[in-house]
Structure 1
């Protein structure tokens, strides 16, 4: 109710005024220049940590050619007398991510040194962005034919493979089963709004810049509807692919948990091997619980729902949950290569919009003289971005990514979107805007669009923002940390530190 209306609004206003985010809003009112400036700053900040994620993807891609995959087993200790203790306390997948890749520090206050392998990957990522963006929209359009279509090919391959795996049905049931209690949490609605902003690229300013290149009488309403439908269909398509594989991962973890309990029961009660199986496990538990309740109570609790709930999110979904699922699949190297190539192309596509959301507003501000070639402007921006983003290659870099992702790429977008809708609907005027749409599309907007722009969208955005502020006042912000000295029953050595 605010994603699609905002998408339509940005396409229309950019196409009509033929300017970037700052130029558009200052044309409506000089007092609204801050909206465009905010979009530019958010686009720049998001580009910094987004390309860092692409650097991580490159690191995993390079290691995907090893057999076996380096995150499939723990490395030996220094004396080669056993496995690394830190890895054994966690899992090989977590160890490779937190130690081999990030070499993470205990908290955000301990910066650590620059990790040279991440610096190299980050430099490579920014070099690729520069090459693709070297001549702006002219060169970028050709690259996007590949970056926009290749992920569909990989998703289709993963979908076919995922649906044939054991546990895929459980993963899909988990995906489509609503949890109504979760909907009462304002953070969930903020996350949903953030996801819409990122998937549609609204409130970043890049969409306005792209729209300024459209023909003056292009039907932007049709474009908004097509993009919105394709975006929703793609999200559903990708979710089915991902959750079928996560269901497979959870099922394997569930069976592993049961097998550990079976081994414990077999040893403790001297039960003949193979008497207890996965099929008759519940019968044995019921039987032994009547006479040895304490022994049964000490067993590890094995619930498939629990393992599904433990599925990681954000960067953890790609670098922990999915990589752990991949090593269980035959031909794991091939699946890993395909997965990280897909992530690379997806990340690259997102970077184009973010970069356009920075360069075009800079031109609107006349910060960049017109005689400077596009190649030089793009090069300077990429170089400056690379130097600033070196903070993410420190030992504490992942913590800074979490902070940027949690605060730069969420609430500011909510505020920007709110003021964009208010600016067009009430300052520029819905009647003037309707006249512009009639000029471009050949028809005035219907009652649905007007209701969204005038009431529904701003009220929803304001409600989510107020609820989030109230939630933040009542709680303390936290971030997950890796602490090898802390050992719990969970295989993931994480606890939450207050900011």
Structure 2
């Protein structure tokens, strides 16, 4: 039953409809990693054969956890700290843990978008010349000679980063419908058009078929390698923006009686389709470069990550007909994909502070954005920013996000929330989920996540990551994890400025009645 509260919270913003939510969710899921991570991961893990474990991972882990996020946000109507507090007061910490993960990712994600924006203009006159690697690391980033050397600020990166933050904060300041929704409705179709044009151009390059053969030729023996399956689950997990607050926040803006599972399937398969499209474009282009150099793709150094985008692709652009247009399309696509993901990350942080302190969208955008922008510039607009980015990204994604997912599932399982969320999904969706989903999120997914966590910890502890000094990885890698834990603890202890409106929705289904009784017993004990 509803509890009496000290104050009535502000009416929560909402998407204008299902289409607005779907565009926003796709915008969050489709990001930089889709373009530069998936093609390389697929190539290194069985080529065409990788599609099988990839699809299995999508169906058994990606979409099931996506449904959990949707149900949590839609049922409890809040950002992660509010949602988990409404389940149990002591779980508010987990919500802030997810929020601070988003905050840390924001700091370095913005600078990559700034790089892409710069390179979109550099493409017009092929400014990197014949040596893209030297241009990127020495002329543009002005990278320090040794890992650990403290670098000075790089003016052109600083100004580019400021521009990214101004655009992002303007979007957030307009709120959910006028800001986030309208941005995604414009940017996502534009991104698809730009990238489709890029892929079509790439398919007609000499050597394109060699690239596609390298990507899609199945190496079936790889399916017997556990690491290939781990790579598939990791890719799905990170590319769908699940288990660290984004989809919980976005689904809290859906109208209460909206279809949840149908849009979840649309978002999941749209994200994976874009990844396959990215693989076709990237490897068609790599095939061209390999033919130009008279080597095989296997002999190429950089086929994924930052270097793929800012070294390998500029090298290709410089040697192909119409390269300046091709380069502009590629980097404009990176900017659009990055911005839609950046605003989703920042919305999690903004919404969390709005819930706790009663700020409106503009107040949160200015206050949260100003702090984020300053820290982003201080850390990543420097000559040593590339080294810091690489380490912070590794630990935040592979330790922080996986740890968040494990903690979330354990908490939900411990307090019997999985059946409740299943009931909620089925009560408001056209596509019903059965006990198979419950088994997946209760057994299969936790086992896979624990396996992923053990593998990642072993990899970062066993050998120094990227051959960096141990102190550097400890400071920026484990330091990032420690910061997330500490900041989440502090924010949990801060007093709410308005009531979080902790209530149990009127129980209408069997599992909700059981859950309601447990909540009443729990809150009486806490009071």
- Give the TM-score, by structure 2 length: 0.73
Change (3 A) 1:430 1:197: closer
2:419 alignment partner in structure 1: 431
CA contact (8 A) 1:22 1:37 kept: yes
| 2:326 equivalent to 1:335 | yes
> Which aligned pairs between 1:145-184 and structure 2 lie closer than 5 A?
145-178=185-218
The answer to whether 1:387 aligns with 2:374 is yes
Match of 2:148 in 1: 109
CA contact (8 A) 1:253 1:307 kept: no
Give the superposition deviation at 1:442: 6.5
Cα distance change on mapping 1:184 and 1:54 into 2, 3 Å: farther
Aligned residue in 2 for 1:317: 308
1:443/1:142 CA distance change after superposition, 3 Å: closer
**1:368-420 CA-partner distances (Å, limit 9, x unpaired):** 3x3x5422320122221111012111110000110111111222111111222
Q: What CA distance in whole angstroms lies between the structure 1 residues aligned with 2:372 and 2:360?
A: 19
* 1:220 matched residue in structure 2: 260
The yes-or-no answer on 1:70 pairing with 2:61 is no
Supply the distance in 1 between the matched residues of 2:185 and 2:70 (Cα, whole angstroms).
20
CA RMSD of aligned residues (A): 2.3
Q: Is the 8 A contact 1:204 1:354 kept in 2?
A: no
2:17 corresponds to 1:29? no
Q: Any gaps of 5 or more consecutive residues in structure 1? A: 74-91, 255-302, 482-496
Shift of 1:188: 6.2
* 1:239–1:444 CA distance, 2 compared to 1 (3 A): closer
Give the counterpart of 2:168 among 129, 140, 155.
129
Q: Is the CA contact (8 Å cut-off) linking 2:199 and 2:281 kept in structure 1?
A: yes
For residues 101 and 161 of structure 1, what CA distance do their matches in structure 2 show? 28
Residue 120 of structure 1 corresponds to which residue in structure 2?
159
Is 1:6–1:421's contact at 8 Å kept on the other side of the alignment?
A: no
Is contact 2:406–2:449 with CA below 8 Å preserved after alignment?
yes
Distance (Å, rounded) in 1 between the aligned partners of 2:175 and 2:263: 22
Would the aligned equivalents of 1:154 and 1:342 in 2 still touch at CA under 8 Å? yes
| 1:441 Cα offset (Å) | 2.5
For 2:195 and 2:147, locate their aligned partners in 1 and report how far apart those are by CA, in whole Å. Answer: 35
Deviates more, 1:225-234 or 1:396-405: 225-234
Q: CA offset at residue 187 of structure 1?
A: 7.1
Could you tell me which of 373, 382, 395 is aligned with 1:407?
395
- Take 1:498 and 1:12, find their aligned partners in 2: how far apart are those partners? 37
Residue 194 of structure 1 deviates from its aligned partner by 4.5
- Aligned match of 1:359 in 345, 350, 370? 350
Distance 1:353 1:400 in 2: 23
Residues 76-114 of structure 1 deviation map (CA, whole Å, 9 limit, x = unaligned): xxxxxxxxxxxxxxxx10011001110000223211210
Q: How much has 1:312 moved relative to structure 2?
A: 3.1
Match of 1:475 in 2: 463
SS at match of 1:410: helix
Aligned to 2:386: 398
Partner of 2:107: 48
Deviation at 1:178, TM superposition (A): 4.5
User: Is 2:443 the partner of 1:455?
Assistant: yes
Which structure has the larger Rg? 1
Q: Is 111-120 or 437-446 further displaced after alignment?
A: 437-446
Q: Distance in 1 between matches of 2:226 and 2:373?
A: 35
Structure 2 distance, partners of 1:153, 1:162, is 14
Contact 1:479 1:498 in 2 (8 A): no
Q: Matched residues in 1 for 2:326 and 2:68: separation? A: 40
Q: Is the 8 A contact 1:246 1:311 kept in 2?
A: no
Does structure 1 residue 233 correspond to structure 2 residue 241?
Answer: no
Separation (CA, whole Å) in 1 of partners of 2:252 and 2:473: 43
Is 378-387 or 346-355 further displaced after alignment? Answer: 378-387
Query: What pairs up with 1:11-30 in 2 under 5 angstroms?
Result: 11-30=70-89
Distance 2:468 2:290 in 1: 22
Partner residue of 1:286?
none
Aligned-partner Cα distance in 1 for 2:339–2:431: 36
**Which segments of 5 or more consecutive residues in structure 2 lack a partner in the other structure?**
1-59, 475-527
Kept after mapping to 1: 8 A contact 2:99/2:245:
yes
More helix by share: 2
| Cα displacement string for residues 311-365 of structure 1 (whole angstroms, at most 9, x for unaligned residues) | 332111110111111112212221111111111110000012101111112233x
Aligned to 2:296: 304
1:95-144 deviation per Cα after TM superposition (whole angstroms, max 9, x unaligned): 11001110000223211210011100000010110111112212221011
Task: Name whichever of 16-25 and 374-383 sits farther off.
Answer: 374-383
Distance 1:195 1:306, change over 3 A: closer
Cα 1:251/1:328, change in 2 over 3 Å = same
- Deviation string, structure 1 residues 278-315 (Cα, Å, up to 9, x no partner): xxxxxxxxxxxxxxxxxxxxxxxxx514334x233211
**Matched residues, number:** 411
- Point out the more displaced range, 192-201 or 455-464: 192-201
Q: Alpha carbons of 1:465 and 1:100: their partners in 2 closer, same or farther (altered >3 Å)?
A: same
